[in-house]
């Protein structure tokens, strides 16, 4: 082996090592960014913790007046999550693990569900996310664990329109 060949081999090994190191650093940075992003998402949901507690714990809770601001805000966070899911930034299993209970509690509430059914054209991203959750749940267990959620979601129509959808 000549000195030129040895030098080329050393350069190739060094380049390969550098590429592996850079790849690992990029992966670590991506994981750190995702962690920071999830914490930021948690802070968005924190604004609506009182509403979430009411939806989860108060059977028959009917939003009225200013409650709707919080309901719409909570649903809007899920609309942003849907966009991130469609862009492959977040996946449905992770969203479900962290915030699925919030989404299911919205769909479980009869008053919110009826309003959503009447104003689907205003909540297209929210409904798309609900459909993605329903698809995910159907794939997970037989029979599906969240059967009522799936049935309700399948009845939502993104074309339903109501004048003054955000007036209460």
In angstroms, rounded to a whole number, what is the distance separating the alpha carbons of residues 127 and 154? 10
Integer Cα distance of 90 and 121 in angstroms: 24
- Which pLDDT tens digits describe the chain residue by residue (168 residues)? 788 888 787 887 778 877 777 877 877 777 778 888 889 999 999 999 999 999 999 999 999 989 999 999 999 999 999 999 999 989 999 999 999 999 999 999 999 999 999 999 999 999 999 999 999 999 987 777 899 999 999 999 988 766 766 666
Contacts for 52 with CB less than 8 Å, ≥ 6 apart = 45, 74, 102, 105
pLDDT of residue 165: 61
Instruction: Specify the pLDDT at position 23.
Output: 77
Mutual angle of helices 124-140 and 147-154, in 10-degree steps: 140
Determine the pLDDT at residue 73. Answer: 96
132 Cβ neighbours under 8 A, 6+ residues apart: 82, 85, 92
Quote the pLDDT of residue 10. 83
- Measured in whole angstroms, the distance separating CA 37 from the mean position of its chain's CA atoms is 12
């Amino acid at each position: 082996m000549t000195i030129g060949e040895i030098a080329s081999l050393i350069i190739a090994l060094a380049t390969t090592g550098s590429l592996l190191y850079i790849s690992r650093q990029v992966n670590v940075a991506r994981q750190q960014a995702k962690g920071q992003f999830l914490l930021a998402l948690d802070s968005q949901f924190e604004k609506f913790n009182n509403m979430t507690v009411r939806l989860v714990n108060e059977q028959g809770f009917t939003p009225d007046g200013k409650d709707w601001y919080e309901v719409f805000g909570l649903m809007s966070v899920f609309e942003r999550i849907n966009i991130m899911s469609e862009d492959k930034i977040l996946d449905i299993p992770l969203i479900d693990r962290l915030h699925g209970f919030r989404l299911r509690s919205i769909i479980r509430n009869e008053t919110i569900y009826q309003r959503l059914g009447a104003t689907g054209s205003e909540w297209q991203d929210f409904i798309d996310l609900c459909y993605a959750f329903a698809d995910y749940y159907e794939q997970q267990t037989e029979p599906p664990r969240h059967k009522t959620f799936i049935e309700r979601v399948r009845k939502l129509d993104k074309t339903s329109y109501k004048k003054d959808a955000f007036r209460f």
